Amino acid sequence: MLRFVSFTLAIVAMCNGQIAVERDPVCGTRNGFYGIEGNCDAYVECRDYRSREMQCPDGLHFDPAVAWPNYPCGYPMEVDCAGRGIAQPAQPSAECPHLYGFFPSPKATADECGYYRMCVDGVAVEMACPPGLAFNPSNARCDWPDTVSTCNAAAFLGFTCPPPPVNEIGELIEGPVNYKYEGNCFAFFSCEEGRARLLSCDAGYGFDPISGRCVDGDIIKC
Q: Where are the domains of the chain?
A: 25-86, 101-156, 159-222
CATH 1.10.3470 fits 159-222, yes or no: no
> Is the pLDDT reported for residue 10 higher than 80?
no
pLDDT of residue 78: 93
- Would you give the distance in Å from CA 26 to the centre of its chain? 31
Band (22; pLDDT cuts 50, 70, 90): confident
| Entry pTM | 0.79
- Domain 25-86 matches domain 159-222 at the CATH topology level: yes
Over residues 152-208, the pLDDT tens digits come to: 999 999 999 998 887 777 677 777 999 999 989 999 999 988 899 999 999 999 999
> Is the pLDDT reported for residue 20 higher than 60?
no
With beta carbons less than 8 A apart as the criterion, state whether 155 and 110 touch: yes
Q: Which residues are 143's β-sheet partners?
A: 134
Residue 157 to residue 160: CA distance in whole angstroms: 8
Q: Which residues contact 123 (CB under 8 A, 6 or more apart)?
A: 93, 95, 96
With beta carbons less than 8 A apart as the criterion, state whether 16 and 27 touch: no
Residue 69 to residue 65: CA distance in whole angstroms: 12
Over residues 84-114, the pLDDT tens digits come to: 899 999 999 999 999 999 999 999 999 999 9
Give the CATH number of domain 25-86.
2.170.140.10
pLDDT of residue 21: 59
Band (143; pLDDT cuts 50, 70, 90): very high
Nearest to 30 by CA among 47, 51, 44: 47
Q: Which residues are 180's β-sheet partners?
A: 188
What is the DSSP code (8-state) at residue 13? H
Average pLDDT over residues 54-65: 96
pLDDT of residue 133: 98
> Is the pLDDT reported for residue 13 higher than 50?
no
Above pLDDT 90, what percent of the chain? Answer: 73
Distances (CA, A) of 217 to 107, 176, 190, 199, 206: 36, 22, 19, 16, 5
